[in-house]
Amino acid sequence: MAHRLQIRLLTWDVKDTLLRLRHPLGEEYATKARAHGLEVEPSALEQGFRQAYRAQSHSFPNYGLSHGLTSRQWWLDVVLQTFHLAGVQDAQAVAPIAEQLYKDFSHPCTWQVLDGAEDTLRECRTRGLRLAVISNFDRRLEGILGGLGLREHFDFVLTSEAAGWPKPDPRIFQEALRLAHMEPVVAAHVGDNYLCDYQGPRAVGMHSFLVVGPQALDPVVRDSVPKEHILPSLAHLLPALDCLEGSTPGL
C-alpha cells in the first residue's frame, strides 16, 4: 500500500500573506512629509516608491548586502529616491523624513494582521504542524511579528537579509529545511507571489500554495497553478492540505 503523504512543516511568506500596511504607503509617506513641512501628493509618492524600489532592487539586490550596504541604508536611499521622483529635490529636507519612516515601519502599529491569519496559524499548531517564516524582509521582521503577537507561532523566522539570499533563490528554502531538519517532501510553503512563493519552493521539492485573494486571477497563474493549490483566503489552507495529503477533514 502506498505511504500517505503527511506535511510536517509549513513555511510562510509575511507581507500581504499574514500582514499588510495599515495605511497605503503613499499616505504614510505623505503624512510624515507633512509633519516635516512638506506637502507631497500620496499618489506621486506611491508611484515614486514603485519606481525607486524596483531600481534599487535591481542595482542592489537583497538590501545591497553584497555591495557593503546595510538594510537600513538601503531603505533610506529608497525613501530619498522616492521623494526625488515625486518632485522633492531637497535631499537634506527629506533625510529626517526617511529616518522617521524607517523607524515607523519597524513598529507593529504600522502593520495589521490580515483576516484569518491568527486563527489559521493557531489551527495549524493544533494540528501538530511546525511553522516557520521565509520572507524577503529585513532584520525588523522579528520585532514586528512579536509586537503583533504572531512570533510565538513560529519555530524560526528566516529573512532574506539573515540568509543572504532572497526568494525565489533555492538556497533560502534549503536553509529553512536545514534549520527545521526536514525533507522537502514533507514541507509546504504559503505565500502570495507566484515566482517567490509558488515556483520557488517547488524548485527544491517542496509543496506550495498561492494566496490570491478575491481578485481575478492573473492568466499566468490561472493557466499554470492547479486550482487545489490556490487559496482565495487563508481559511482555505487546511482543506487544501487535506486534499494534498489525500485525507478528508476530521480524519
Q: What does the pLDDT look like over 110-156, one tens digit per residue?
A: 999 999 999 999 999 999 999 999 999 999 999 999 999 999 999 99
For residue 211, the cross-strand partners are 231
CA 128 to centroid of chain Cα atoms: 24
Does the pLDDT at position 37 exceed 90? yes
Nine-digit cell at 101?
519612516
Nearest of 18, 189, 240 to residue 115 by alpha carbon? 18
Closest CA to 210 of 240, 172, 175: 240
Q: Tens of pLDDT along 53-104?
A: 999 999 999 999 999 999 999 999 999 999 999 999 999 999 999 999 999 9
Place of cell 532572497: 166
Residue 170 has pLDDT above 90, yes or no: yes
201-228 pLDDT, tens digit per residue, is 999 999 999 999 777 788 888 899 999 9
| Angle 234-238-243 from CA coordinates, rounded to 5° | 125
Please give the CATH superfamily to which domain 22-110 belongs. Answer: Haloacid dehalogenase-like hydrolase (1.10.150.720)
Taking the C-alpha atoms of residue 176 and residue 153, their distance in angstroms, rounded to an integer, is 16
**Cβ-contact 155, 131 below 8 angstroms:** yes
Question: Which pLDDT score is estimated for 200?
Answer: 98
- Closest by Cα among 188, 187, 223 to 209: 188
Given a cut of 50, whether residue 249 has pLDDT beyond it is no
Distance CA 157, CA 82 (A): 29
Q: Residue 3 pLDDT > 70, yes or no? A: no
The predicted model gives 181-194 an average pLDDT of 97
Question: Is residue 250 over pLDDT 50?
Answer: no
pLDDT score at 97: 98
Q: Is the pLDDT of residue 4 over 90?
A: no
Specify the CATH architecture of the domain 9-18+114-246. 3-Layer(aba) Sandwich (3.40)
Looking at residue 246, its pLDDT comes to: 83
Residue ranges of domains in the chain: 9-18+114-246, 22-110
